[in-house]
């Protein structure tokens, strides 16, 4: 078990190094000079050069990459070009807003998606199943930002129920978290249904049934636990979707999180900030998937760590 864990973690490191390399190389060819942009209309060529040197941007790509990696291992993500503050500090200030939004959205997705999936599996091709099928198809097909705008028009402009500008009380969470959760609700409902139906075909369930155990009881007591395993995999993938989807949701709802920060950083050509955000998001994503793999062992004793 421990050996397996260490092996998995060691495997994740080159992947993250690769992620940083992709970002560094991409940003190198981005048109638009971040320093000239930052200094604005009053800048002189001398002040631009001086600032570039000050930020170390005048050195070769490979040197910057190696140094960046070395610093990352010491917890230093560099300094934002625009804000002139440590990237780690800025991410630290911004991450909680995204974590809260994604956290609430995951809860919403579970709270809605699981029961819908169970209800669908209880009577395949029944009314509920068909309705859920249509809804989840819609949830997967509507662009997130558009759903958000539809919610804004209905619940804020017309009904005036929820605010849409940024973060504050619990009311501010309602629309963005539902918007962000919608595709995940669809996926979770589908996965739960498919997985439950498969488990229900297996021998031990049939045995229980032949012994006269009620079907609802079978569903909850015997089937659900085993059916949850693939659902948890899906949940891990959904988190990745949400971290990316947050870029759109946070834009629509003026949410002060990492997603919006990424977009601003890209528009401002704030290289180190973009690198830092992507590295942090990719690390979270890779770690969550690692956790998902490990959690198999607790849910399914058949899984062995080779």
Partner 1 sequence: MKRGILSLVALLGISSGAAVWAQSTDELVIVRPSDPVSLDAQEETTAPGAWVFGNVIEPLITLNADMEIEPRLAERWEFVDDTRLRFYLREGVEFHDGTPFNADAVKFTWDRALFSDPPGRWASLAGPIAAVEVVDEYTVDIVAERPYGPLLLTSTMVYTGVVSPAAVERLGDDYARNPVGTGPFEFVEWRTNESITLEANDDYWRGRPDLDRVVFRTVPEAGARTLALQSGEADMLLKPNPADLASFESSDEFDVLAATGLRVFYLGFNLERSPLDEPLVRQAIAHAIDVPGIVENLLEDAATVPTSVISPGVLGYADMNLDERYPYDPDAAIALLEEAGFTQNDDGIMERDGEPLTLQMLPAAGRYLQDQEVAEVIQEFLRQVGIQVELNVFEWATTFTQLREDPLQYDMFSFGWLTTTADADYTMYSNFRSDQFPPDSWNSWRYANDEVDALLTQAREETDVATREDLYAEVQAILAEDLPAVPIYNTIEVTVVGSDVEGFEAHPIEYNLDLYPVSKAE
Partner 2 sequence: MSAPTTDANAPTRGTWKRFRRNRLAVLALGVVLLTVFAAVFAPWIAPYDPAAQSLFDRRAAPGADYLLGADAFGRDILSRIIFGARITLLVSLTSVGIGVAVGGALGTIAGYFGGWIDTVVMRLMDVLLAFPYLLLAIIIVSALGPGLTNTIVAIGIWTVPAFARISRGSVVVLRERDFIGAARALGANDARVVGRHVVPNFVATLLVYGSLYLAYAILMESALSFLGLGVQPPTPTWAGMIAAGRDYITSAPHIALIPGIAIALVVVSFNLLGDGLRDALDVRSDG
Residue 253: phi and psi, rounded to 5, are: -100, 15
Scanning 26-34, 57-65, 111-119, 214-222 for contacts with partner 2 by CB under 8 A, the matching segment is 26-34
CB of 64 or CB of 172, closer to partner 1: 172
Gap between the Cα atoms of 104 and 95, Å rounded: 14
Question: Quick check: 251 binds partner 1 (CB under 8 A)?
Answer: yes
Exactly one of 95, 119, 140, 208 binds partner 2 (CB under 8 A); that residue is 140
User: Looking at residue 126, what DSSP letter applies?
Assistant: S
Question: Quick one: CA torsion of 74, 75, 80, 81, rounded to 10 degrees?
Answer: 10
CB of 100 or CB of 156, closer to partner 2: 156
Neighbours of 118 (CB within 10 A): 20
Question: Quick check: 233 binds partner 1 (CB under 8 A)?
Answer: no
Rounded to whole angstroms, what are the CA distances from 274 to 4, 198, 266?
32, 43, 6
Question: Quick check: 242 binds partner 1 (CB under 8 A)?
Answer: no
Exactly one of 81, 90, 182, 282 binds partner 2 (CB under 8 A); that residue is 282
15 Cβ neighbours under 8 A, 6+ residues apart: 286
Exactly one of 170, 201, 302, 304 binds partner 1 (CB under 8 A); that residue is 170
In terms of Cβ atoms closer than 10 Å to its own Cβ (0-12, 13-18, 19+), residue 266 is: middle
Scanning 40-48, 180-188, 195-203, 204-212 for contacts with partner 1 by CB under 8 A, the matching segment is 40-48
For the residues of 87-151, what is the DSSP string, one character each? Answer: HHHHHHHHHHHHHHHHHHHHHHHHHHHHHHHHHHHHSTTSHHHHHHHHHHHHHHHS-HHHHHHHH
Gap between the Cα atoms of 178 and 201, Å rounded: 34
Secondary structure of residue 211 in the 3-state scheme:
coil
Binding mask 64-83 for partner 2 (x = CB under 8 A): --------------------
Residue 75: phi and psi, rounded to 5, are: 80, 15
Scanning 61-69, 102-110, 203-211, 217-225 for contacts with partner 1 by CB under 8 A, the matching segment is 102-110
Binding mask 172-211 for partner 1 (x = CB under 8 A): xx--------------------------------------
Question: Quick check: 144 binds partner 2 (CB under 8 A)?
Answer: yes
Question: Quick check: 54 binds partner 1 (CB under 8 A)?
Answer: yes
CB of 91 or CB of 205, closer to partner 1: 91
Interface positions with partner 1 (CB under 8 A) = 31-34, 36-45, 47, 50-51, 54, 82-84, 90, 93-94, 96-97, 99-100, 103-104, 107, 111, 152, 156-157, 160, 163-173, 251-254, 256, 260-261, 267-269
């Amino acid at each position: 078990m421990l050996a397996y864990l260490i092996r998995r973690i060691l495997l994740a490191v080159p992947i993250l190094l690769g992620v940083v390399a992709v970002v560094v190389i991409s940003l190198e060819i981005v048109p638009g000079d971040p320093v000239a942009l930052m200094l604005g209309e009053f800048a002189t060529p001398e002040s631009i050069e001086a600032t570039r040197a000050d930020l170390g941007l005048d050195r070769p790509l490979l040197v910057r990459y190696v140094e960046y990696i070395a610093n990352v291992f010491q917890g230093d993500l560099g300094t934002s070009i625009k804000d002139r503050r440590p990237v780690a500090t800025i991410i630290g200030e911004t991450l909680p807003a995204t974590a809260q939004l994604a956290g609430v959205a995951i809860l919403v997705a579970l709270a809605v998606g699981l029961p819908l999936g169970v209800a669908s599996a209880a009577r395949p091709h029944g009314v509920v199943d068909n309705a859920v099928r249509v809804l989840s198809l819609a949830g997967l097909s509507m662009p997130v930002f558009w759903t958000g705008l539809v919610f804004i028009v209905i619940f804020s402009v017309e009904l005036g129920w929820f605010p849409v500008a940024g973060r504050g009380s619990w009311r501010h969470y309602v629309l963005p978290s539902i918007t962000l959760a919608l595709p995940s609700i669809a996926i979770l409902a589908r996965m739960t249904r498919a997985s439950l139906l498969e488990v229900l075909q297996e021998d031990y369930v049939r045995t229980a049934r032949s012994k006269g155990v009620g079907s609802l009881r079978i569903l909850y007591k015997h089937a659900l636990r085993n059916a949850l395993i693939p659902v948890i995999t899906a949940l891990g993938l959904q988190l990745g979707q949400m971290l990316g989807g947050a870029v759109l949701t946070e834009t629509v709802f003026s949410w002060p999180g990492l997603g919006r920060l990424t977009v601003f950083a890209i528009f401002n050509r704030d290289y180190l900030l973009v690198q830092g955000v992507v590295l942090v998001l990719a690390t979270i994503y890779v770690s969550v998937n690692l956790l998902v793999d490990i959690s198999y062992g607790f849910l399914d004793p058949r899984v062995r760590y080779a």
